[in-house]
């Protein structure tokens, strides 16, 4: 005899929310997915990116999503390559699907410093995060996804070099794929060996990006040559869940200094002249831009 689902009260965890969403989706359609696709487009189900929306974004509800492989794995998340398009092939785009790991598979040892200054609505949630209960760990995973999507939306609006955030559903972010049409991802800055002229140009782009973030009160929080992509001679900053509010987070100036020294050391090691690769000078400029002492 079928047993009814146990009743529950209170806030659903992200895992439970995803399970219920899958049950709804399975019940919603009995139509076989066309063309070997993995799912129908989730566009209508997610939080959508900022306007004006780029013309390449596929918003038709008849579109399907097809998994094309893994782009990157990490401690907090995996990034997959996804093709979203209409079954007849008339419109499609490539997306980077960033999926935060389930709470039991993630490492939370470095969450505390970044989460300083972020406010939860309920004291129960604050206690759960502080105590690292199972509920609290799920909240942290959801908070990372929310934080990255919100940061990307805000930075996109001010013209920062970040991927366009297409949508967020649960702990999955769908982002602009930075690379070529055959699915080859753009290289990270750390993989390049630029000549003197290109090195200076990349340094200029990087410092301008840092200054733009600082002028709006933010720093990346974990910036290095490994989370800067270079495509068609232009940089793109990625991996922004830990973006730091310099005014609200008491650790903000320390994170900003670490960002600056990480990138300055990389450029200096590649031959950028010392009068340009001056971490103290750059840090002073960023403090001024952010209104920090």
Sequence spans of domains, the chain: 36-176, 189-290
pLDDT higher than 50, residue 195: yes
Residue whose pair of structure tokens reads 């973030």 in the numeric block:
213
Which neighbouring-strand residues pair with 230?
A: 235
pLDDT higher than 80, residue 31: no
| Pairing of the two strands 165-169 and 228-231 | unpaired
Report the range of poorest mean pLDDT among 64-73, 75-84, 130-139, 278-287.
130-139
Q: Which two tokens stand for residue 285?
A: 């400029």
pLDDT category, 22, cuts 50, 70, 90?
Answer: low
Chain segment 127-167, per-residue pLDDT in tens: 544 555 555 556 666 788 898 999 999 999 999 999 999 99
Helix (H) or strand (E) holding 228: strand 228-231
Most confident of 12-16, 72-76, 104-108, 282-286: 282-286
Neighbours of 8 (CB within 10 A): 8
Q: Fold for domain 189-290? A: Transferase(Phosphotransferase); domain 1 (1.10.510)
Report phi then psi at 47, rounded to 5: -75, 125
User: Does 190 sit behind a cis peptide bond, omega within 30 degrees of 0 on the bond before it?
Assistant: no
Q: What's the CA dihedral at 121, 97, 101, 36 to 10 degrees?
A: 130
- The rounded distance, in Å, linking the Cα atoms of 39 and 54 is 23
| Mean pLDDT computed over every residue of the chain | 85
- The rounded distance, in Å, linking the Cα atoms of 212 and 245 is 13
- The rounded distance, in Å, linking the Cα atoms of 36 and 251 is 48
Report the range of poorest mean pLDDT among 55-64, 90-99, 101-110, 163-172.
101-110
Selected residue with higher pLDDT from 140 and 103? 140
CATH of domain 36-176: 3.30.200.20
In 3-state terms, what secondary structure has residue 270? Answer: coil
- Per-residue pLDDT, 20: 54
């Amino acid at each position: 005899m079928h047993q009814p689902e146990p009743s529950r009260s209170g806030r659903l965890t992200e895992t439970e929310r995803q399970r219920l969403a899958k049950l709804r989706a399975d019940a919603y359609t009995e139509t076989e997915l066309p063309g070997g696709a993995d799912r129908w487009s989730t566009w209508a189900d997610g939080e959508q990116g900022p306007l004006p929306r780029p013309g390449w974004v596929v918003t038709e509800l008849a579109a399907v999503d097809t998994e094309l492989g893994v782009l990157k794995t990490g401690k907090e998340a995996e990034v997959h390559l996804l093709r979203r398009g209409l079954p007849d092939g008339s419109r499609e785009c490539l997306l980077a699907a960033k999926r935060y790991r389930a709470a039991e598979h993630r490492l939370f040892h470095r969450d505390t410093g970044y989460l300083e200054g972020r406010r939860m609505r309920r004291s129960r949630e604050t206690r759960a995060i502080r105590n690292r209960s199972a509920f609290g760990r799920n909240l942290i995973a959801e908070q990372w996804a929310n934080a990255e999507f919100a940061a990307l939306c805000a930075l996109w609006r001010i013209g920062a070099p970040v991927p366009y955030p297409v949508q967020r559903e649960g702990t999955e972010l769908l982002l602009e794929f930075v690379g070529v049409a055959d699915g080859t991802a753009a290289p990270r800055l750390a993989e390049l060996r630029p000549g003197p002229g290109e090195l200076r140009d990349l340094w200029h782009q990087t410092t301008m990006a840092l200054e733009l973030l600082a002028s709006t009160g933010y720093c990346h929080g974990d910036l290095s040559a490994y989370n800067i992509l270079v495509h068609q001679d232009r940089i793109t900053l990625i991996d922004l869940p830990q973006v730091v509010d310099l005014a609200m987070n008491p650790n903000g100036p320390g994170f900003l200094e670490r960002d600056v020294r990480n990138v300055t050391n990389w450029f200096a090691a590649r031959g950028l002249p010392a009068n340009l690769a001056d971490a103290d000078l750059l840090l002073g400029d960023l403090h001024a831009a952010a209104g920090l002492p």
